[in-house]
C-alpha cells in the first residue's frame, strides 16, 4: 500500500503495514502488519526495498476488497504507470489479478468512479464513463439522460469548485438531463443510499429521453 502511494496511485487509507515476505517465513511477529506470502510475478532479491509496479498490483489484487483493488489498478492505467497490453500479458498466478488485467480501464478519473461503476454492476446497471456533453466531460451517464457526478475532496472542496459544479449542473439540467451528485463518503460508506437513489431515478424514467 505504501508503494502504491509512493507511485502516486489512488489507494484507500490503511492502518496496517503491508509487507511481502517469503512463503517460508514463519517466525514473525505480525502485530500491526499484514503479511503477503504469495510469490509475485517479477522476481526481486530479498534485500531490494523497491517493488516493481507489477508486483505492487499483484499484492493489491490479492489483499484489498475487489472494488478497492480495481480502483488502484485503474489509477495505474490512468496515470500511464503501466499499459493494458502489458497487464494482459503477465502470468499473474492469481485469479483476481487475472480478472483485473482484463476488465481494468483508464476511463475512471478517480477511485471513486471505479467504486461507483462496480457498485452499479452489482445491481445490473451499466453506464458510460467520461461522456462529453456540450463540450464538457461528465463522470458517468446511465441510459440517455441520467448524469452522475462524483465529488472527491481534492477537486470539490473550495467555494470556486462549488460554483463550477453548480454551473455545470445548471447547464446539464437546461439541456434536459437529470443530475445526481455523490461524494466520497456516500459512495464508499453509504452505498445503499447511492443504490436506492439511482434505482428511484430510473423508476421515474429519468434515464430515458423525454418524448417531445
Look at domain 111-203 and name its CATH class. alpha beta
Q: Which residues of 170-189 are buried (b: 16+ CB within 10 A; e: fewer)?
A: eebeeeebbbbebebebbbe
Per residue in 16-55, pLDDT tens? 788 877 777 777 777 777 888 888 899 888 777 788 999 9
Res. 145: pLDDT tops 80: yes
- Mean local confidence (pLDDT), 117-127: 94
Higher pLDDT, 30 or 2: 2
Per residue in 52-105, pLDDT tens? 999 999 999 998 899 999 999 999 999 999 999 999 999 998 999 999 999 999
Per residue in 153-206, pLDDT tens? 555 456 787 888 899 999 999 999 999 999 988 998 999 999 999 999 999 999
Q: What pLDDT, on a 0 to 100 scale, did the predictor assign at position 170?
A: 94
- Mean local confidence (pLDDT), 129-136: 90
Q: What are the residue ranges spanned by the domains of the chain?
A: 2-103, 111-203
Q: What pLDDT, on a 0 to 100 scale, did the predictor assign at position 76?
A: 94
Higher pLDDT, 19 or 118: 118
At residue 212 the predicted structure's pLDDT band, cuts being 50, 70 and 90, is low
Q: How many residues does the chain have?
A: 212
What sign does the dihedral 36-42-44-49 (CA atoms) show?
Answer: negative
Please give the C-alpha separations between residue 195 and each of 74, 192, 205, in angstroms, as whole numbers.
Answer: 22, 5, 15
Amino acid at each position: 500500500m505504501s508503494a502504491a502511494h509512493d507511485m502516486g496511485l489512488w489507494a484507500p487509507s490503511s492502518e496496517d503495514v503491508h509487507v511481502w515476505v517469503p512463503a517460508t517465513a514463519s517466525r514473525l511477529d505480525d502485530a500491526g502488519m499484514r503479511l503477503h506470502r504469495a510469490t509475485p510475478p517479477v522476481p526481486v532479491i530479498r534485500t531490494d526495498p523497491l517493488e516493481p509496479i507489477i508486483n505492487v498490483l499483484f499484492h493489491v489484487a490479492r489483499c484489498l476488497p475487489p472494488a478497492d483493488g480495481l480502483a488502484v489498478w485503474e489509477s495505474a492505467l490512468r496515470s500511464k504507470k503501466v499499459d493494458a497490453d502489458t497487464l494482459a500479458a503477465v502470468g499473474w498466478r492469481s485469479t483476481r489479478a487475472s480478472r483485473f488485467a482484463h476488465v481494468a480501464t483508464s476511463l475512471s478519473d478517480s477511485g471513486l468512479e471505479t467504486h461507483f461503476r462496480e457498485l452499479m454492476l452489482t445491481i445490473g446497471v451499466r453506464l458510460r464513463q467520461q461522456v462529453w456533453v456540450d463540450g464538457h466531460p461528465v463522470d458517468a451517464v446511465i441510459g440517455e439522460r441520467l448524469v452522475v457526478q462524483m465529488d472527491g475532496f481534492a477537486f470539490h472542496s473550495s467555494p470556486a469548485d462549488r460554483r463550477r459544479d453548480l454551473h455545470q449542473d445548471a447547464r446539464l439540467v437546461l439541456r434536459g438531463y437529470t443530475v445526481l451528485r455523490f461524494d466520497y463518503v456516500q459512495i464508499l460508506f453509504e452505498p445503499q443510499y447511492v443504490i436506492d437513489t439511482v434505482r428511484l431515478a430510473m423508476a421515474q424514467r429519468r434515464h430515458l429521453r423525454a418524448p417531445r
